[in-house]
Amino acid sequence: MRVFMQTQAVGADAPRYYQIVLQQDLLGGWTLFREWGQQGTHRASSKSEVYLERDAAMAAFERARDAQLGRGFRIMFSQGFEGPR
């Protein structure tokens, strides 16, 4: 699953972005990758977390997404969302 979000450009400043990716690993665990920075610059930060259970990983994904939506980011692209299991 992947969500790419960004803010609106303010003046001459490029928009900021935030990307969240959730992937299952080869051993059945889940890795949550987060990356953020400013469009058009080489400065970016990232963080990854590993979860053993899908439900815990999904909850962390949704918390990260909702936190950024609350900070003014807008979803520009999403991929791989499924219904509940």
The answer to whether the CB of 55 falls within 8 A of the CB of 27 is: no
Q: Which 3 state secondary structure label does DSSP give 70?
A: helix
Cβ-based neighbours of 12, under 8 Å, separated by 6 or more: none
Annotate 2-14 with DSSP letters as a single string: EEEEEPPPBTTBP
The whole-number pLDDT of residue 70 equals: 95
In tens, the pLDDT along 16-40 reads 999 999 999 999 999 999 999 998 8
Q: Does the pLDDT of residue 9 top 90, yes or no?
A: no
Q: What pTM value is reported for the model?
A: 0.85
Q: Does the pLDDT of residue 84 top 50, yes or no?
A: no
The answer to whether the CB of 56 falls within 8 A of the CB of 64 is: no
In tens, the pLDDT along 28-71 reads 999 999 999 998 888 899 999 999 999 999 999 999 999 999 99
